[in-house]
Amino acid sequence: MRNIWGVGGTIKATLNTAAALVDLGHDVTITSCIRTKATPDFDIDPRIKVVSLWDVRRRGESADRLSLLDRWRARRPSYLDADEVNNMGESSKLLDVRVRRFLRGLHTDVLIGTQVAMNLYMAEYGRPEQYRTVAQEHLYLEVYKAPVKHRILANYPKLDAVVTITEADADAYREALPEHAHKVVCVPNVVPPSPLPPSELTEPVIMTAGRMTGMKGFDVLIKAFAQVADEFPEWKVKIFGRGRAKHSLQGLIADHDLEDRVELPGAVTALGEEWQRASIAAIPSRFEPFGLVIVEAMAAGVPVVCSAVKHGPLLLIEPETNGLLVEPNDPAALAAALRRLMNDPQLRRKLADNAFGTAKRYEPDQMAGLHVDLFETVLQARA
């Protein structure tokens, strides 16, 4: 992984999968390219070993002391930087060197990359005679810019398998790599069941969570709520997360005089109790490869309204049955859906009950075996 110590859907999905594999008796190590803090944001199962290749914490917090050569390497570009493949601030020749050393000396059965830069590192520096390599894709092929897509299609065939989180994206990879279509497998994200009782759907709270970037469309939610706030004075919105868009979201909240109605509580990694206090989950993403937060809301018994964007919402939501879909980037459409749900407790209950069944498809006992089947396949192929 790039950084196991932060927050994000890929991090949570990886930890969920790792814990499910440990439950099945496998030895799992997570290798993080960098370490940014003493304590991870998400709880990590103590049975999972964590290794970091570069400790970038401030001096005095156990950060690596770099040699003169490494300091020079840290200022030189990575071979991936020309095409802006890796958006880590630490992307550099030094990171290339440390990843290469790690991959060249690694002893394992299966190595899984969780992001395009990690997958390209495996293709460049991996040891196919020592272990099998599996590229996970938590985005989808068409979202990548042309130079990155070119690298993907040129390098992924060197790997033993490519795992997507939706069948639609798997089909895109098979079409783009017809000679290697047999290597492409869809394995959706693992979402553990909620340990808490489902929401009673009585609290007047609309909730969402995620990284505060334009992709998540939280600005659309604020604008939509502004259209219905006067009709429903008891309702409020909670947006959990952090990111570079927080300041602009605060400005938008102030512009609509919603400071007492829209809350930005920050990043909370264990959201179970918050979902229990919510009655609507709003997911206004501009694109959503899977939508971990959608399934988490469903597992908590909360009805979901989300943008009809590729690929996750279209995969997960059956309109009017287990959720509502609205036009993307359209505050008026989202406002109309919120109005329906706020006005209709029976609709909220119907959607939530049906969504609860949808979430069960992604529980560890359903998904972990698919990973194991894939690992056995790639191991046998090279036996």
Mean pLDDT of 312-322: 94
Could you tell me if 177 and 239 lie in one domain?
A: no
| Residue numbers of the domain that contains 44 | 9-190+364-381
Q: Are residues 96 and 212 in the same domain?
A: no
In this prediction, residues 164-187 reach a mean pLDDT of: 96
Cα(305)–Cα(334) distance, integer angstroms: 8
Q: What's the mean pLDDT in 298-309?
A: 97
12-26 exposure pattern, b = at least 16 Cβ within 10 A, e = fewer: bbbbbbbbbbbeeeb
Residue 239: is its pLDDT beyond 80?
yes
What integer best gives the mean pLDDT of the chain? 95
Report pLDDT for 7. 87
Has residue 197 been placed in a domain? Answer: no
Per residue in 156-175, pLDDT tens? Answer: 999 999 999 999 999 999 99
**Cα–chain-centroid distance for residue 92?**
24
Residue type, 269: T
Question: Picking from 8-17, 89-98, 222-231, which range would have the lowest pLDDT averaged per residue?
Answer: 8-17
Give 112-162 pLDDT, tens digit per residue: 999 999 999 999 999 999 999 999 999 999 999 999 999 999 999 999 999
Same domain, 330 and 318: yes
Do 232 and 312 lie in one domain? The reply is yes
Distance between CA 17 and CA 20 in Å, rounded?
A: 5
Is residue 260 over pLDDT 80?
A: yes
What pLDDT shows up at residue 166? 93
Domain-located, residue 44? yes
* pLDDT(109) > 90: yes
Do 377 and 356 reside in the same domain of the chain? no
Do 84 and 98 contact (CB within 8 A), yes or no? Answer: no
Give the pLDDT of residue 245.
94
The pTM of this model reads 0.91
- Answer whether residue 199 is part of any domain: no
pLDDT mean over 317-342: 97
Evaluate whether residue 350 is within a structural domain: yes
Same domain? 351 vs 371: no
In a domain, 195, yes or no: no
- Listed range (7-11, 67-71, 372-376) with the worst mean pLDDT: 7-11
The answer to whether the CB of 153 falls within 8 A of the CB of 119 is no
CA distances from 350 to 10, 34, 255, 319 (A): 30, 45, 35, 12
Do 257 and 329 sit in the same domain of this protein? yes
Please give the pLDDT value at position 62: 67
Is residue 63 predicted with pLDDT exceeding 90? no
Residue 202 has pLDDT above 70, yes or no: yes
Q: Based on the domain organization, do 14 and 141 belong to the same domain? A: yes
In a domain, 2, yes or no: no
177, pLDDT greater than 80: yes
Burial category of 257 from C-beta neighbours within 10 Å (exposed 0-12, middle 13-18, buried 19 and up): exposed
Find the CATH number of the domain harbouring 144.
Answer: 3.40.50.2000
* 270 and 221 together in one domain: yes
Query: What pLDDT score was predicted for residue 237?
Result: 98
**Quick check: 312 and 334 in contact, CB under 8 A?**
no
pLDDT attached to residue 60: 66
Indicate if 146 and 279 belong to the same structural domain.
no
pLDDT at 16 (0 to 100): 94
| CA angle, residues 249, 144, 187, in degrees to nearest 5 | 95
Kindly state whether residues 213 and 123 are assigned to the same domain. Answer: no
Whether pLDDT at 61 is above 70: no
Mark whether 169 and 292 lie in a shared domain.
no
When divided into structural domains, the chain yields a total of 2
Residues whose CB falls within 8 Å of the CB of residue 46, separated by 6 or more in sequence, listed in order: none
